[in-house]
Structure 1
C-alpha cells in the first residue's frame, strides 16, 4: 500500500450522464487507496476569466447582474466563459471587459486562480488585474447583460462589502481580497501569460466534438 500522498487515483471507467449548454455530468470509476473502486460524479464546466478592474482613482469597476439560480442581482467582477477550445485567457478577459463595461486596459497581471468547488466540478476561474483604463465602444447587450449595472467602488469599500456579506460571488470575493492581500504583502503578481495548471478544457472539447458530428 502506498504512503499518504503517493497513491495514483486512476480512472478505470467513465460514463456520461448529461450534456447540456453550460455543463455536463459524467461518473468516473476511480481506484481508491487499498484497491477499492468508487464512483465520483464530475460536473464539467467551461473555464472562465474575471477582471479586477482598477481605475486611476483607486476604485474598482464592479457590475451588478441578475443571477437566476439565486433569484437576485449580485455584485460581481466583469467575467465570462472560455467556451472556445484553445482560446487565450487574456484575450477572453479583454473581450469580456469591453463587452460588459466598455473599457480597455493597458496593464494586465494574473491576480489569482480559483478552483470553485473541486469536490465535484472542474470549473476554474483565472482572475486578472487590469489598470490603465480607456473607454472603447461597447457592443449591444442581450439577456441578463441588458440589465447590467456598472459602478466604481473604492478598494477599501469593496473589501468591506465582501466582509459584510454584500458581495458574495466567489470570484469577486476572491479577487477583491487577493488584491488587498497582495497590496498588504507587497508581492509582485504573475505575468498575464503565466501557466494555468487547472484550466478546464474538457467541456469545451465535448461541445465542439458534438457540434462537428451533427449533420449539416
Structure 2
C-alpha cells in the first residue's frame, strides 16, 4: 500500500478555540475506502525547537523551571516556540538559547524532528546540538519565565537521564540523539 492510500481527505474544519499558543479544531475526514471520521480533534501549536547546548568548557547547559500543568519543577534542555521573526529553525534555537541562557554558540547542528503526539498535535519539535557556547549576555526571559541555569558534565547529564529525573519526553529524545551524535553513547541491540 502506498503512503497516499493511507492519507485522509479533510472535508471540513471548524475552529473551536484560537489563541497565541494553542488552537483546537474539529475536522470531518474521509478515508480512501469512503469511511467518514467525524469528529477528529486536532491541537495546533507553533513549531518547537530545543537543543543540547555545550559550552566552550564542555559543560552541558540545562534549565530548571516550574511547569504549572504538572505542578512540578522540571529539569530540561533549553528551547521553545519558533517565532514569526525567526527566518528558520536554526535561527529560532539560537534565539531561544541566547534568551534562556545568555550563551551564543559557534555551531549548531540539526538532529532531525520529532512529534509529541502525531495523532492529535499538528506541530513538530526540531532538535539540535549547539557547540562552543560562550556567555555573552544575561538572560532575556519572557515575563512568565523564571529559569535557573545548570552547567553539568556529560556524566552528570547521563546520570540524570538514567535516574529518570528529566521527565520531558521530547527533551529526553533530543538528549539521546545528541549523545549518539557526539559519540557519548552507543545504541546497543
Instruction: Give TM-score, length-normalised by structure 2.
Output: 0.87
Q: Which residue of 1 aligns with 2:28?
A: 29
Matched ranges for 1:78-89 at <5 A:
78-84=78-84, 87-89=87-89
Sort the Cα spacing of 1:108 and 1:85 in 2 relative to 1 into closer, same or farther, 3 A. Answer: closer
Per-residue CA distance 1:96-154 (angstroms, 9 max, x = gap): 11111110001110023111111101121111111112121235434442x31111122
Matched length: 183
Sort the Cα spacing of 1:185 and 1:163 in 2 relative to 1 into closer, same or farther, 3 A. Answer: closer
Q: 5+ unaligned residues in a row in structure 2: which ranges?
A: none
Q: Is the 8 A contact 1:64 1:148 kept in 2?
A: yes
The reply to whether residue 168 of structure 1 matches residue 167 of structure 2 is yes
Query: Where has structure 1 moved over 6 Å in runs of 4 or more?
Result: none
What's the secondary structure of 2:179's corresponding residue? Answer: helix
Query: Which has the larger helix fraction?
Result: 1
Instruction: Give TM-score, length-normalised by structure 1.
Output: 0.77
Q: Which residue of 2 aligns with 1:177?
A: 176
Sort the Cα spacing of 1:139 and 1:177 in 2 relative to 1 into closer, same or farther, 3 A. Answer: closer
Q: Which residue of 1 aligns with 2:51?
A: 51
Q: Which residue of 2 aligns with 1:64?
A: 64
Matched ranges for 1:1-216 at <5 A:
3=1, 5=3, 6-39=5-38, 40-84=40-84, 87-145=87-145, 147-182=146-181, 183=183, 184=185
What's the secondary structure of 2:6's corresponding residue? Answer: coil
- Deviation of the 1:83 alpha carbon: 3.0
Higher mean displacement: 4-13 or 35-44: 4-13
Q: 5+ unaligned residues in a row in structure 1: which ranges?
A: 187-216
Instruction: Please give the alpha-carbon distance, in whole angstroms, between the structure 2 residues aligned to 1:12 and 1:86.
Output: 32
Sort the Cα spacing of 1:142 and 1:7 in 2 relative to 1 into closer, same or farther, 3 A. Answer: closer
